[in-house]
Amino acid sequence: MAELLTGAALAARAAEALEVPLQRSLGARLLDPDAPAAGAWFVVAGLASNGRGALHAAALGTVLELAAYLALLPSLSVSEDAVTHAIATQLVAAAKDGDRVEVRGQVDRRTRRLAFLSVVATAEDRTIARAQLTKSILGPR
């Protein structure tokens, strides 16, 4: 059995994901630095704003995908990675400038080459979006 990502290797992979320029420019942070799989958060401001006082859907989509990746990390071996190849998102409510948006993902099913994930975004204790993602598992990194 392949060695799963844990400890320092898991933290390093999560940090690498947060350093992607788009995530970094949105100000995405881990909900729990000691448990990267818990998800991410960001504040609706700057690039995350649509210019009309609300969250831009593209910014939200970026962090939905990030949260799915973070949720999957503990299921990956040290030699695997994953990329999204399908995403379906429902935008169900708005978040306004200044709101803290929290995004949590969960692995619904993992096979050898695919992972199916669900992600929920909330702001002010309201659900603002849900997404279903399919990620392809890539072999040795």
Q: Residue 44: what are its φ and ψ, rounded to 5°?
A: -70, 100
**pLDDT tens sequence for the chain (141 residues):** 589 999 999 999 999 999 999 999 999 999 999 999 999 999 999 999 999 999 999 999 999 999 999 999 999 999 999 999 999 999 999 999 999 999 999 999 999 999 999 999 999 999 999 999 999 999 875
Amino acid found at 4: L
CATH 3.10.129.10, domain 7-138, yes or no:
yes
DSSP 100-111: EEEEEEEEEEE-
Question: Distance between CA 30 and CA 22 in Å, rounded?
Answer: 15
